[in-house]
Structure 1
């Protein structure tokens, strides 16, 4: 039959509802597909079949009538065109087959609302503050999945449903209804006042469906604010001995702008001709640290106070402030005398106590307590405290002087300030004493003290240190004294002069106690012998001696004794002195005497 030799295209359309469902899911789409040019052939003998994507599961064909049905919902936004091959077999004509190319177009209905292309919370636009009206801010674009070629289903219009009002009560932004571009409408945009704005934008298609989105407008910064110091007057104090790079103070400023428009630079523009200071910038915290560049000297009047003019700048603007820096005195100078030595006028040894010997004067370049001077005499230069020095530097006799004890003094007078720590200077004052006749004649040889040492055969813990003492009942306490030196020794000193011819030996009992627990003590006897002096005159005398001859011999010993008796004068000298004198006489007389002596 002729059906099989022709391509028959059928275009049929169906309209889907906006919800994408059919009123009748098995709606007949195509009928009267029959066509057989053979006359006399019953159309009922034809058998139809549908072939292609979607056949059987979405579309079916009545094999007898050739009617095509859809048994599922169709969505144009998923697939707008379906294409099949329909085969027709002529059973009565010997099974001849023909085919038809069937194209099905799905007609659009307004079943999709507009949606904005940006993700929620990502519809952002930027505009510089102070921008004039009609400045483009952003484009708020939306799409509609309906067919733009059919009716007005995909034709969109835009409007702002929730706008922002300016200080005059009018909208700050507007939108192009056809393109969705947002512009500045009027009113001053000030980032420092409001950094961002939120607009609700509606997109509406021709069928009345709408979609909304939130547009976030970010106001970008421009450098329209002057940096300002947080204080117009800054004050600080710095010790003069501060190290270089020491922090003096920190100054800070604010700038309402952000980013590079708020990068602040601090500098000193006045009040520091010698460049004693510099400023270290901290852009993150918008502060500047004033630091010491050179050493300070409080003693220089120009460097006791600095009145600095400082400035802070951003890219376009600047402001100034005053920084008052007080330099504090440090104790960096010692008191100083004009010379290292002072020779005082000689004074007599009997000058009254309170006599001013000389006056010393020291100066200190520091101020306040650091420069307040207190005088003193170094103790080891005047161990007996014979002199004092008052606050005016007067060196005064404090105790009676004795030239026979000390003839010259080399006093070290110190001048100390009251800083922390104190500093000291010194001068040596030389004082010579003039003699007065205040001593009678006396023996040349002095009585020397005796130094005693002790030992203990016990172990160390039961031994030294020792203590020395005289018994409480010692009867000769007016003759000798004992001094415990606290170093395991004791000193015995004679308290008077002695006459050997009256008593030549003294027995001194000494009690020595060890450090054991319990302590042990023993009494030791110190024998003191008084030495002889030639303090007695000799007395003349005579003795008659009979000398006999003894068989022509004279005993040497008797001869010697005879000479002693004859020639030694009566004296109370010591035996040692008599022996020397008599021996000398005997040796002289031996030459002249002959004969025999017998006693």
Structure 2
């Protein structure tokens, strides 16, 4: 059957192999088969899988497929054995006309990895068309006066085959008057002519019937016949004559309708009516429905009727007869060869076959997106086509074979930046003017999960009042994911941890869909001032991606703790204080100490001495913030031997909560007072140190420690200022340490975004107040870079740190 040829790797394949590596492969070799036309269905053409170096068992798994170039599926491949066979009847004349070489181009495509092969199947001509004469009978008029060796051209036969199958030879039936000779034209066509070798006598032989047989050069030979009816004419013995027996004319294919092709002029040496000539077109070859020719029978003008199309027919042969009006008429013959000159009147045609759409955004460079084939019906430079791609981007066109290109991914793509590309493939020919055609390719980018959910902030600060109801919504976290579909579907979860001995999940929960954070139980500021935890956001992609955000939940204090009076005045029975009547004004009789479990304003206590009913001016007062009970005037006998003082301790919360302490003051004479006091002092010494003395010692040590630390801090700050004095402040912000802020009696309490610092103390002496506060002056990061602000801040803290 056909002969398979496979070229080795050329330079082009080597370049492509280096360029694209193992991602995809385009074969530059070509397999060539030959096949006679009219082969039956199922006729073996070649073992295409074997010739292409493919494994027959992998044809199905690698999606083996054959694409023909815009033609019917004349050929098919059996994917079970890799054999190429004839699928439908192939008529070479119908497929290619008179083109010398007729081929069917196939593209063989396999995947995993992608390979493209080009296969050419040449259709060989067989002798399946016999010679055909244009008419069944040719009428020839020969004057009896014609001389010997006179020649009479005949209309030759035509054969649709090519090559040797179309080479014709002629044979004339036997007769006494005429012989047959072959005339070879300039285009190597062979035409028959009759030659007179015996003078005619009309009265003896008025009519001669001959049979002309045309035989082609095929095997087996095919023949065609035409009957020649020769009528012998009487004395009009000078036929019209043309200047040439053959005229050559060239016209552009865009010549308008009615264009003069040629003006013929034949002459006749006869006189009168025997010399009057009329012109007729005897034959036009090949015949065309688009273009015909009209001849003026009087002037000999031949004009175009219709339109010339180079792509339809590039050459026309027109046989013209000039006939005089003699009796009988005589005719002269000539042939006009019209060559149609091609112009660039056909734009290129572009065909795009998609392979890998849409494109994954993580697809590697070198991925083949589509195959592009171009064609142009014009010839020469008018049919030379080049392709370009626009706009510039991550794609490129690579030439793989003559008029074949591959659309290839040249660099990485990102769906979040550009979700789709509209590409335009432009094919331009090299004619003048240049013609072009375009094909649009829409390339969608398919999302992959390459973006993790992200929060707007790394840390969120939340303020929640204590004693919240269970299940209270305290915050909503929200993360965004620029991916698409399930890759952007975010779910939230709590990053499990422990708060003390309890799991974090017993305090808070996070709704997986909405990101809402709920407090599962009432929060107690006195138990938990700051709750820090993380929430995780994960998408639904594969593999899933996630990120965490930190939440700082500050539990704001509410006034839910009443003041508590410290011993010794905390009991139900009042404590008796002995006071000498001779004490000076302002003498401290006793000191009421109280604490409050709350913080801020809610823990800022004030003391108030409740008035006695029916009693005049009270000689005692209590310090508003110190709780010290002291005399306001000299004591008198009228004040009585004993006073019951009721002290109200009240915080500054809303609403305010309070507690009371009762103190019994006994007035004694000066001498008794001294003895009693001495006795009490001796008893106290024998009994050991009192709690008040112990508190005094503790406060002394505490004051010494605070002063030492403050001194070291001041020295460190001085050194820091010296090192950082020339550094300009930077505007950088971030979370700070939360601090509970308290002011003195003339200022207010407030709550900042700093962590409360609790300072707990035991009992204090009657004449010493130790209050540790941090002023409400939180510094931003920008301020923290300023040495002067730092010094001022610490100095202000130190001023309020100790009050003696």
TM class, shorter-chain normalised?
0.3 to 0.5
Q: TM-score, normalised by structure 2?
A: 0.34
Q: Which has the higher helix share?
A: 2
| Higher Rg of the two aligned structures | 1
Q: TM-score, normalised by structure 1?
A: 0.44
